[in-house]
Amino acid sequence: MQLKKIKIGSLTTPNNVFLAPLAGYTNCVFRQMCFDFGAGLTFTEMVSAKGLVYDSSATRELLSVTPEYSGIKAVQLFGGDPYYMRRAAESREIAPFDLIDINMGCPVPKIFKNGEGSALMADIPRAQSIVREVAKAGKPVSVKFRTGLSGDKLVTRDFALAMQDAGASLITVHGRTRDKIYSGPVNFDEIAAAKRAVDIPVIANGGVFSVADADELIQNTGADGVAVARAAMYDPFIFCALVRVPVPDKKQAIRTQLLRTREVFGERFATVFMRKMIAFYIKGMPSSSAVKQALFMCGSVEEVEGILSGINFN
């Protein structure tokens, strides 16, 4: 794929390869690592608008940013009430962020039943109202959504136009319907229809696990860039390949992630989180099952570091 800068309102990204928001994974240390590897834009985990308004400490933790992060700071908010979405967008917690992304694609039943996430694709007037209210905070707004709720309810083109008309400066289209969750083929035609319909940048999301996947997605949709999601959990070094920069020493990079995660979030979180992440990173490697078993017996960062030191990433 051709690398290029993306203009999002008053903001400009260094390239068109983004890290998608991943609930439970895209904490500030992981975002920093992916940015260092070449990601042109990274997003927080999705943050509840009502959680911010009601001053939830767990919600505030999702908004951490490393001091050394020098890229565009992007937060993803979710909610179904325009009033709470605007209050969250104008809150002091969101003030440090440059870009507000609105989640209108989450397929999780609890979110959907609350009229949030992908449920908004079935209520275009309310979705537009949310974008207009969030835009009143004075920051560029982007929207992430899917192709529809199901195969017989595809809304990609109309929803893309509606988001642009409401004031969105960028859209990200996950090329699957809500009922497919994260499985099945990506619908290139629907993403292409959104791209033809709007004048704002369109980022394609879904199924990018390699450079070849990204090339295919761009070639078949005409999108302006790609957003990498689950692939980053298993291989954050994919960004090096996509933006064509040298891969750093993998073991040292993961060790840095481990120690920085402890520094920011504490011993217990770092131990549990990095056991899981390293298990992802070694998937498919020789003896990975035995290493995973040893990892999940670890009770401290030092023990995780000891297991990491014995892994050969070459």
What does the domain layout of the chain look like in residue ranges? 6-243, 250-309
pLDDT tens column, 48-107: 999 999 877 778 789 999 999 999 999 999 999 999 999 999 999 999 999 999 999 999
> Helices then strands (H, E): number in the chain?
15, 10
Fold for the domain defined by 6-243:
TIM Barrel (3.20.20)
240 part of the active site: no
Q: What is the CA radius of gyration of the chain?
A: 19
pLDDT tens column, 280-305: 999 989 889 999 999 999 999 999 99
- Report the distance separating Cα 63 and Cα 146, nearest Å: 24
Phi/psi at 226 (5° precision)? -125, 155
Q: Which of 28, 34, 106, 298 is catalytic?
A: 106
- Report the distance separating Cα 154 and Cα 67, nearest Å: 42
Quickly tell me which residue has 């949709």 as its tokens. Answer: 221
pLDDT tens column, 143-165: 999 999 988 889 999 999 999 99
Tell me which architecture the domain covering 250-309 has in CATH: Orthogonal Bundle (1.10)
Please report how the helices 267-281 and 288-295 are oriented relative to each other, as an axis angle in degrees rounded to 10: 170
pLDDT tens column, 201-226: 999 999 999 999 999 999 999 999 99
pLDDT tens column, 99-120: 999 999 999 999 999 999 999 9
So what's the pLDDT on residue 183?
Answer: 81
DSSP 21: P
Q: Is-same-fold flag (6-243; 250-309)? A: no
pTM strictly above 0.85: yes
Pairing mode, strands 225-228 and 99-104: unpaired
So what's the pLDDT on residue 286?
Answer: 84
Distances (CA, A) of 45 to 7, 26, 31, 243: 22, 5, 10, 23
